[in-house]
Amino acid sequence: MTLQEIAEKLDLTLESTGVPTEHEVTGGYASDMLSCVMARARKGNIWVTLQAHPNIVAVASLLELAGIIVTEGVHPDEGTVQKAWEESIPLFTSPRTTFSIVAQLSELGVQGAE
Partner 1 sequence: MVTDSQQDIDPEAVAATKEITKLQELVYELKIADVMTTKVVTVLPTDSMATLKEVLRTNRISGTPVLDGSKLVGIISLENLIRALEMGEIDARVGDKMSSRVETLYADETIIQAVNKFAKLGYGRLPVVDRQGKLAGILTQGDIARGLLRRLEMDYREEEIHRYRASHIFQDIVSEQTSLILRYKVASKDFVRCGEAASKMKRALERLGAIPSVVRRVAVASYEAETNLAIHTSKGGELIAEIQPDRTRIIAVDTGPGIADVPQALEPGFSTAPDWIRELGFGAGMGLSNIKACADQMRLDSKVGVGTRLEIIINMEAPDKGLR
Instruction: Point out which residues bind partner 1 (CB under 8 A).
Output: 32-36, 38-40, 43, 49, 51, 53-56, 58-59, 61-63, 79
Strands 13-14 and 91-93, sheet pairing:
antiparallel
**Choice between 22 and 109, CB closer to partner 1:** 22
Q: How far is the CB of 88 from partner 1 (least distance, A)?
A: 11
**Choice between 34 and 108, CB closer to partner 1:** 34
For helices 78-87 and 55-63, angle between their N-to-C axes, nearest 10 degrees:
20
**Choice between 44 and 104, CB closer to partner 1:** 44
Q: How far is the CB of 100 from partner 1 (least distance, A)?
A: 21
- Helix, strand, coil content of the chain in percent (nearest 5): 40, 20, 45
C-alpha angle with apex 65: 59 to 71, nearest 5 degrees? Answer: 75
